[in-house]
Amino acid sequence: MSSILRRLQGGNLEVFKFGVYIIFPIGWMYYFGTNLDDRFNITGFWPSAEQSHKIPLEKEEIDRELARMRTADALRREKRQQREALEAQAHAQFQAQAQAQAQASDAQSSQ
C-alpha cells in the first residue's frame, strides 16, 4: 500500500486525480443512461393512448368539443345555483327561527 502511495506523488497524483475527475461523470452518465426501460420503468405511470386526451384537429371536432365543454359548464353552473338557492333558503329559515325565538324570549321576559 505504501508503495502505491509513494508512486502517487507530485505529477502522478495530479494525473490520477484528473483521471478520476474525468471517469466519474462518464461512468455516472453511462450507468444512468443505459437500459433505462428496465431500470426505471414504473408500469402504469404514463397513460396509454386510449386513456389520454385526443386533441381535435378538424373544425367539426373542435365545434363538438366546445359544445361538450359548454354543456358541462352549464350543468355545473345549474348545480351551483341550486346549491346556493338551498343554502340561501336554509339561511333564511335559520334567521326566521332565531327571530321567532328572540321574540318569544322577549315576550316571556316582559311578563
Q: pLDDT tens for residues 38-89?
A: 777 788 888 888 888 888 899 999 999 999 999 999 999 999 999 999 999 9
Within the chain, residue ranges assigned H as helices are: 2-7, 11-33, 36-39, 59-110
Which residues have CB under 8 Å from 62's CB, separation 6+?
56
pLDDT of residue 72: 96
Q: What is the pTM of this model?
A: 0.45
pLDDT at 1 > cutoff 70? no
Contact 52, 58 (CB under 8 A): no
Three cell numbers, residue 98: 332565531
